[in-house]
Amino acid sequence: MLVPDLKKITKPIWSHKLGYGVNQQGWFKLNNPGQATAPEDPKLLQKLGVKKGEKVLFIAGYYADWASFLVKKGVKVDYNDVSEQMIDYVKKNIKIKFNKYIHSNYELIPKKEKEYDWTITFEACGGSQGLPIAYLRSLLNNKGGILILFYQRGGHMGSKWKRYPSIVKKLAKIYNTTFSIKEMKIVGRKKGGPRSSLLHRVYIIRTNNQARELVKKDLSELTSNKFSKDSLIRLSKVAKLIKKEFLKEVAA
């Protein structure tokens, strides 16, 4: 049976160039270093279903526009990125301070259950590589995981539009949890432009006690490489979200 191979998944295939952006045409110099959109919506927490005081692990945090706005709104945020350069940049240039700056592959965090309420990302890459594992891990949280995409007609990188809904739908089915997909306007700025109401899509997966236990078991078996029959069945379903080159064959 094919299951995710964490070693292959976490092997770096590209490293982010600071001050540059990337799209289907390749790298381009950013005039305005920052995320595709920067939120300024007074009702953002309400819209995302996140509460003031909750603990958020913000993965693939990039230039931190989203992560830092959550801090402004009273959320306790740990910032993560796999790029050391990006973390240094954020430490030096972003006035808002995060609880922690976690230099890690997002596939490996959180390590423990109930350490966070939510895992959140804005437009993270890796939808068919490690992102399904990061959102599998988000089921260890108190509440679950949230993925956010800015709605850009025709201009979207990769296959996030297809990958994000299948991540929340399939994981919810395998672990018997609930999900929601909502389209909503969020007030903010697009690349330093004027403040306006920008269309975003928000994908939410919610965990529960049983899902948390199953995910804990499956992740531990994935690490030890010793599989029980039920974990193997679930992990082979998770593997369907991931490209074949990041999977390994194990005996059924």
User: Which residues of the shown chain bind ligand SAM in the complex (CB under 6 A)?
Assistant: 16, 35-36, 59-60, 62, 80-83, 86, 105-107, 122-126, 130
**Which residue lies nearer to ligand SAM by CB, 64 or 214?**
64
Give the number of residues written for the chain: 252
Shortest reach from residue 252's CB to ligand SAM, in Å:
29
Cis peptide bond upstream of 165, omega within 30? no
CB of 188 to ligand SAM, least distance (A): 12
Q: Closest CB to ligand SAM among 21 and 214?
A: 21
Q: In this structure, how many other beta carbons lie within 10 angstroms of the beta carbon of residue 137?
A: 24
Q: Which is nearer to ligand SAM, 131 or 139 (CB)?
A: 131
Shortest Å distance, C-beta 164 to ligand SAM: 13
Q: How far is the CB of 130 from ligand SAM (least distance, A)?
A: 5
Nearer to ligand SAM, 62 or 203 (CB): 62
CA–CA gap between residue 189 and residue 237 (Å, rounded): 38
Q: What's the min distance (Å) between Cβ of 37 and ligand SAM?
A: 7
| Residue whose CB is less far from ligand SAM, 99 or 178 | 99
> Least distance in Å: CB of 106 to ligand SAM?
4
Q: 60 or 171: whose CB is closer to ligand SAM?
A: 60
Q: How far is the CB of 173 from ligand SAM (least distance, A)?
A: 24
**Is there a contact between 178 and 165 (Cβ–Cβ < 8 Å)?**
no
Q: Among residues 82 and 222, whose Cβ is nearest to ligand SAM?
A: 82
Cβ atoms within 10 Å, residue 40 = 15
Mapped to the 3 state alphabet, what secondary structure does 102-171 carry?
EECCHHHCCCCCCCCCEEEEECCCCCCCCHHHHHHHHHHCCCEEEEEEECCCCCCCCCHHHHHHHHHHHH
